[in-house]
A and B are shown apart, each in its own frame.
Chain A
């Protein structure tokens, strides 16, 4: 469903992606792991055109992602995104945040949109917070609203950029639980994460990125428990204190 073909990207003379080849199939949960600066967030942001790339191609169901083409708006309605720092709209309530995309971009019937938005908020456990503004919600609650906002677009895939990195430790669990539910429902997800234990649990595949390349990819078991590459082994050793 998402295919990377020899993707190259540089910021000026600094090359951050040095030829990425990979594929994410429908219904798969793929975790991207790697040290900071390895290019995993950049790769994720290229998928919905928040960043452009210089060579190669990213294809979503055979449609090429081009950040500068008009088609990018349509692609973004099908591939939703959840950010590290939530990025909820602060002047709208939780419910309005979730309704914004379907009502304003997809122009769906407002009554239906509202009913569905309420359903999504219930699904992430926020039935009692619908009319709260983001500033009145905890980090974990805000991120769950952001996930509901992504779901409301009825996307074919969701991109998650370190969804728990900005959270206080005691709130990580509630967000991961929501993501587990989505994984169980076979939502296609591409998750940049430092939560190795979580990746082990939910990921169908894991990509390990190392300085702009996929150094290793395979099932969670293969990459996280029996890593072949020395770089992967070293990385896992370094983050093992987090487990």
Chain B
């Protein structure tokens, strides 16, 4: 066998390709999940039961299904009803749907944790619901929801490895293929783990900085 550093140099380009795919899947899924999560949170905190109930149903429903099954469903079942998606698209959508529920619940928790007196103060100057949400409640809810949202982000990033089951060639998938062709399991998977850490550790640091900064302007 070639020396370790040489092998690592051999593996690295493939793994880096996978890493970028992981970043792309995660980033797109995060954007979609955040937007959709905000929608769920707004619906679920609405006083209108016709908005709240269906949203609650969808969220509970999606949360009750393992992410792998969601991915299989989107990738293998959707084409049968005429919706052909690439593995990449199916992976992004599956991750986004699943995480929109977690993120939605995180936002909902933040909204509901805002002091009731804030709603009354906003109402008492004549604010309507929409403006009150935008100007008074959401800015405070974001601060409260930020730490758990950061956790959601890191978890989503790690769970993006699940899309390898529908053959998206992200980091985990690239690692598995490399390992099965070289039998150099230890080196390959150690590198894979290290590359994930290269994403998650800076992410955690950035989140902590943002939290600190937001905490200051209170």
Contact = CB atoms under 8 A, between A and B. Distances in A.
B135 A100 contact: yes
Given A83-B120, A89-B118, A76 B218 contact: no
B126 A91 contact: no
A149 B131 CA distance: 17
A194 B127 CA distance: 30
Nearest to A78: B126
Chain A residues touching B, range = 20 to 34
Contacts of B79: none
B174 to A, nearest CB: 44
B47 to A, nearest CB: 11
Q: How extensive is the interface on chain B, given as a class?
A: 20 to 34
Nearest to B131: A104
Contacts of B122: 89
B117 A153 contact: no
Interface of A: 48-50, 73-74, 76-77, 80-81, 83, 85, 87-91, 100-101, 104-106, 133, 135, 149, 153
Given A91-B140, A104-B135, A85 B117 contact: yes
Give the secondary structure class of B's interface: helix
A77 B139 contact: no
Contacts of A85: 117
Nearest to B136: A89
Contact of A101 (B115, B118, B125, B218): B125
Contacts, number: 61
A100 B218 contact: no
A101 B217 CA distance: 21
Interface string B177-218: 000000000000000000000000000000000000000011
Given A87-B117, A91-B218, 8 more contacts: A73-B128, A80-B125, A83-B117, A83-B121, A87-B120, A90-B218, A104-B127, A133-B218
Interface of B: 115, 117-118, 120-128, 131, 135-136, 139-140, 143, 217-218
Q: Rank and list the top 8 A-B pairs by shortest CB-CB distance, nearest first.
A: A101-B125, A77-B126, A87-B121, A87-B117, A81-B124, A76-B126, A105-B126, A91-B139
A50 B127 CA distance: 12
A76 B120 CA distance: 11
A104 B131 CA distance: 8
Most buried by B among A83, A85, A89, A153: A89
Contact of B121 (A49, A89, A91, A106): A89
11 contacts: A50-B120, A50-B123, A83-B120, A85-B117, A87-B117, A89-B118, A90-B140, A101-B125, A101-B126, A135-B218, A149-B125
A93 to B, nearest CB: 10
A96 B11 CA distance: 56
A133 B214 CA distance: 13
